Chain A
Amino acid sequence: MAVVYYTGIFGVGVLIKVRDLAFEYFTRDEEEHLTDMVSAIRGIRFDAAGGDVIAIVGRNGSGKTTFARILNRLLLPIEGSVEVDGLDALLEENKYEVRTHVGMVFQNPEDQIVGSVVCEDVAFGAENIGVPEGELSDRVKAALAAVGMEDAYDKPVSALSGGEKQKVAVAGVLAMGTGTVILDEATSMLDPKSAKELVVMMKRLAKEKHITVIWITHDMNLLLASDIVYVMDRGRMVLAGRRDRVLSEEAKLASSGLTLPKVRRLAGRLAAFGVIPRGNANSVRGIVEEMKKRYPSKFGVKRHLPEKTFEAGKVSLTRAILADHVSYSYGKNRVLSDVSISVGKGEYVAIVGATGSGKSTLLSVLSGIMKPAEGTVYVDGMDLYDRSTTTKEIRKKIGYVFQYPEHQLFAENVYEDVIFGPRNLGVSEIEAEKRAYQCIELVGLSQDVYDLPVSSLSGGQKRRAAIAGVLAMEPEYLILDEPLSGMDPEGREEMLALMDSLHREAGITILVVTHDVESVSAYADRVICMEEGKVVGAGAPAEVFYDMYRDGYHEIPVAEKLLYRLYEEGLPVDLAAAGEDRIAEEVRRACFGM
C-alpha cells in the first residue's frame, strides 16, 4: 500500500540570528563562593537560513558545544542576542518554541533514546509538545520515511546499530516539526560507513525538505559535506564563510588545531606540482574529473584493475602472537569463524574492517580474556588458554587498552590508577612506584597530574592515564581497540605519535584496531582486514587496500583511492606506488613524464 505523506508535516529551517554572544562557566566551592570563572565563548556572530548545511568546527574545548547548547536553549548566555524565527530565544516563555524550531542530536546514540521501541522514541518529542493524537502516528511514519527507516517502526531500539540509532534520533527531531537540526559530534561514535550514510542523508534532507543542518564537529571530512563553515577557537569565531574560502586558509586552520581534510591536502600537493589548479577539488572524483579535462590525451581506454600486479615486500616473521583457527560465538551469533593470524615481534599491525566484523572480539581473544570456542592463541609459544598458563603470565606479556579506556578508570587519583596493574602483578612496592612514575611520563602527562582526581582531567589526558596504567605492567605486546575514537585532530596526532614512539623507542609490538585507514597507511607495517568474522586480507597496507578496493570497499586512504581510480580511467600509472608522497609523485610523472 502506497502511503502518501503530506509534506506539511515537516518544518523548514528558520532564520537564526546570533549577535555578540557570551557565556561563562562558574565553579563554586561548597560554600557557594566563586572559585573559578571560565569564559567559554565571547563575541559570537552567527547566521543560518533554511536549507543551509553548516559546519561549526574547532578542537576540543573551543566552545562549539557550548554554542550549540545555547542555540537549543539548553544554556542561557550572559550577554548577546539569539533570534530564532524572529523570536527572542533568551526569553523563558519562548524556551519550548525555540526547541521545536531548533532540535539537537547528540554524540552518543545510546544516551538520547528514551523509548524502547522505535516508534515510541520518535514520538517522544512530538508527544511532549502536544501534537494531537490523530496526527502523531502520521508524523512518526513520515519522519521515519524521511530518514529511510520506515521498516523499523516497531523494532526494539536494542536491535539497531549505532548508525540506525542516530537516524532514529534525527527522526525524533523531525517528528516535532523541527526544521533546524544540530548534530553535536553525532558521527564520532559511528564507523566510517554509517557516518557517511548519516552525512548523505542530512544533505538530502537539506536539499529536499529545506531543513537546516548544523554539524558541530572536529571531523574535518564533514566540512566537505557543508556549504558554510564557522571555525571556533578559544571561545571565539576565528573564521567564517563559504566552505572553499575557509578551507583555503590553511595556516589559520592549523593555528586553531585543525587540519585540512585528507583529500584537500592531496589536491594541494597535486596543485603544487601543477597537475591541477589550486582550488576546489573536494573529492577523489573531483580530482579525476579535473585531470581528465586538462589531460584528455593522457587517458586511454577505461580498464579494470588487474588481479595483482606487484609483490609487496614480505616481512619475515618470528611469529610472536599466533591465533590458530580461532572461532567465537555469542549465543547463536558466530562472530569469529576459523580465524588464523600471526603477528611478528616488533611489528606494528593494524586491523581494519566494518563494525560487526569481529575485530574487537578478536582482540579480546588475542589478549587472553575471552576463551575461544575452538582454536587457541599462542604468545611466544605459550598457549594462552592452556590450564597451566596463569593470568599473571599473560598480563606480563600482553597489555590491552580497551575502547574508551578512560571510562574504566576507578582509583582516586591518576597515580593510584596507574600503579594498580603492577601491584596486581606482585612486583615490589618500590618497583611498582617506579613504573608508575615512568609510565605517566612516558605517555606525556606532566608531573602535576599525579595526585589529581581522575575526574578533573580532560578527555585526552584521561585516555593517556588509562594507557599509562596498561604500560606500567610492562607488556611486550600492546593491543589497542580504537585508540583514536572521539579525539580531535590534535589529539589524534598526539596519540599516533605516542603509539609510534612506543613502537620504535620502547620496542613494543603494537596491534591496533582502527577505522582510521589514513593513519594505518602512514604507520602500520602490516594490515589485517576483517569481514563478517573472517580474515579477508593480510599484508602490507597498500596490498590490502588494493584488494579492499577491488572488492568494492572504498573506505581506503584517499591517495590510494585516487591512484586506483586514475588507473581505471586509463591513465598509465604504476600501481606499486604507495603512500601519499609516492602517489602524488607518480601522478605527476604520469601527466608530465619525468
Chain B
Amino acid sequence: MLRDVTIGQYYSAASGVHSLDPRVKIRYVLCMILLLIPDRNPVLYGTLTAIFALALMLSRVPLRHLMKGTTGVALLVIFGSAISAFTTYGSTLFTVGPLTVTEEGVVKTAFLIWRMFLMIGFASLLMYTTTPSELNDGFEKCFHLSGNVAMGITIAFRFIPVLLSELNHIITAQAARGLSKRGGGIKGFIRRMKQLLLPLFQSAFDRAGRLSDAMEARCYRGGKGRTKLHPLRYKGADYAAYLVLLAVIGVSIWMIIRF
C-alpha cells in the first residue's frame, strides 16, 4: 500500500554516518555517482559496492528498511534495463519469439542494473541518515541556494507521508461509494484521475494555507536573521571523511585507468 513508501524519509538512529556533516554526505554521494559513470569495470563497481555496504553497516539503517523503501524504484529499474538485453547486437544467447537476447546485452544490462542500484542506494542512504533540515542546510551551502528554496524542499519532504496517507483515504472513500477502478478507456481513466486529484489538491492547498499561517505565527520571514539549532560546523570526523573520500577517488581513478 501507499503507506509503505519510505522514500526520502529520515531514519532515526545514533550512528557515525548520521552525525557526519550533511555537506560531507552530499559530496560523497555526488562523487560516488560520478565514479559510477565509467562502464563495465567490475573491479571499480565491486569496490564501490563494498564502500556502500560499509557505509550502510556504519549507518545502522537496516537493509530491510532500505529495500522496503526502494522496491518500487528497483522494479522500475530492472524492467527498464531489461530492454537493453534485447536491443544490443552481439552473439545470440537465445531467442524469445521475435526477440533476441545477446551475451553482450546481458552483460550490459547487468552493469546497468548494478550501477542504478548503487546510485539509488547511495542517495537513499543520504536521505535516511540526514534530516530534511540538515539536508536543507547542506544543499544551501553546497549549491549556494537561497534559504527559501531550501525551506521549500524541507517542507516538501515533511509532507510526502501526509499527502500519501490522504490519497489513501480518498481512494478508500471513493471505493466505498462504489467507484470502479477499471473501465471507460482513456476517458474513464482521465475522469477517475480528476476525481482523485481534485480533493487531493484541494486538501494540499488548504494545508499549505494553514502551514503558512503557522510558520508566520512563529515569526518566519525567510532566511534573514535566522539562527540555527545545529549550525554546520566541520568536526574531526568530517575532515577524516573527506580524506577517505579523496583516497577513494584516487584509487577509483587508478582502477579506471588500469582495468
Contacts and interface: CB of A to CB of B under 8 A. Distances in A.
Interface of A: 69, 72, 74, 96, 99-100, 103-104, 106, 108, 110-117, 119-120, 123-133, 136-137, 140, 154-159, 172-173, 176, 330-331, 364, 367, 369-370, 391-392, 395, 399-400, 402, 405, 407-411, 420-421, 424-425, 455, 469-470, 473
Contact of B227 (A130, A154, A173): A130
Interface centre among B132, B202, B215, B227, by most A CB within 10 Å? B227
A381 B154 CA distance: 51
A156 B207 CA distance: 20
B146 interface: no
B207 A111 contact: yes
B236 interface: no
A181 B148 CA distance: 27
B197 to A, nearest CB: 9
Contacts of A367: 176
Question: What DSSP secondary structure best describes chain B's contact surface?
Answer: helix
Nearest to A72: B217
A408 B168 CA distance: 11
B82 to A, nearest CB: 30
26 contacts: A99-B219, A103-B217, A103-B218, A106-B213, A108-B210, A111-B214, A114-B211, A114-B218, A115-B158, A119-B229, A124-B220, A127-B228, A128-B225, A129-B225, A130-B225, A133-B231, A154-B12, A172-B218, A367-B176, A395-B178, A399-B176, A402-B176, A405-B173, A407-B170, A408-B169, A420-B177
Nearest to A75: B213
Contact of B133 (A120, A155, A173, A473): A120
Contacts of B71: none
A99 B229 contact: no
Interface in B145-183: 154-155, 157-158, 161-162, 166, 169-170, 172-180
A167 to B, nearest CB: 15
A183 B214 CA distance: 12
Contacts of A137: 229
Contacts of A112: 210-211, 214
A391 B180 contact: yes
A100 to B, nearest CB: 7
A367 B176 CA distance: 8
Contacts of B216: 74
A313 B184 CA distance: 53
B144 interface: no
Contacts of B221: 96, 128
A133 B225 CA distance: 12
Contacts of B180: 391, 424
B37 interface: no
Contact of B9 (A106, A108, A132, A158): A158
Nearest to B131: A117
A97 to B, nearest CB: 9
Given A133-B227, A176-B219, A421-B178, 19 more contacts: A74-B217, A96-B219, A99-B218, A125-B219, A128-B220, A130-B225, A130-B226, A131-B227, A133-B229, A154-B12, A157-B158, A158-B9, A391-B180, A400-B176, A405-B173, A407-B199, A410-B174, A410-B198, A420-B179
Interface string B1-21: 001100001101000000000
B195 A410 contact: yes
Contacts of A469: 177
Given A74-B217, A425-B178, A128 B226 contact: yes
A158 B8 CA distance: 13
A268 to B, nearest CB: 38
Contact of A410 (B9, B10, B175, B199): B199
Contacts of A111: 207, 210-211, 214
A103 B154 CA distance: 23
Contact of B162 (A110, A400, A473): A110
A117 to B, nearest CB: 5
B218 A125 contact: yes
B47 interface: no
A375 B179 CA distance: 25
A369 B214 contact: no
A512 B12 CA distance: 38
B176 A395 contact: yes
Contacts of B218: 99, 103, 114, 124-125, 128, 172-173, 176
Given A410-B195, A420-B177, A369 B172 contact: yes
A120 B131 contact: yes
A128 B203 contact: no
B229 A140 contact: yes
Interface in B201-259: 202-203, 207, 210-211, 213-221, 225-231
B170 A114 contact: no
B75 to A, nearest CB: 19
Contacts of A133: 227-229, 231
A100 B202 CA distance: 31
Given A421-B177, A469-B177, A106 B3 contact: no
A411 B133 CA distance: 38
Given A99-B217, A106-B210, A106-B213, A473 B226 contact: no
A420 B194 CA distance: 14
B217 A470 contact: no
A117 B133 contact: yes
Contact of A117 (B4, B12, B178, B219): B12
A127 B207 contact: no
Contacts of B213: 69, 74, 106
Q: Which 6 A-B pairs have the closest CB atoms?
A: A125-B218, A424-B178, A112-B214, A123-B229, A408-B173, A111-B210
A504 to B, nearest CB: 24
A128 B210 contact: no
B71 to A, nearest CB: 14
Contacts of B199: 407-410
B187 to A, nearest CB: 15
B148 to A, nearest CB: 13
A276 to B, nearest CB: 43
A478 B157 CA distance: 37
Given A424-B177, A473-B177, A120 B229 contact: yes
A124 B230 CA distance: 11
A200 to B, nearest CB: 24
Nearest to B18: A154
Contacts of B227: 126-127, 130-133, 136
A464 B32 CA distance: 56
Contacts of A158: 9, 161
A59 to B, nearest CB: 21
A155 B172 contact: no
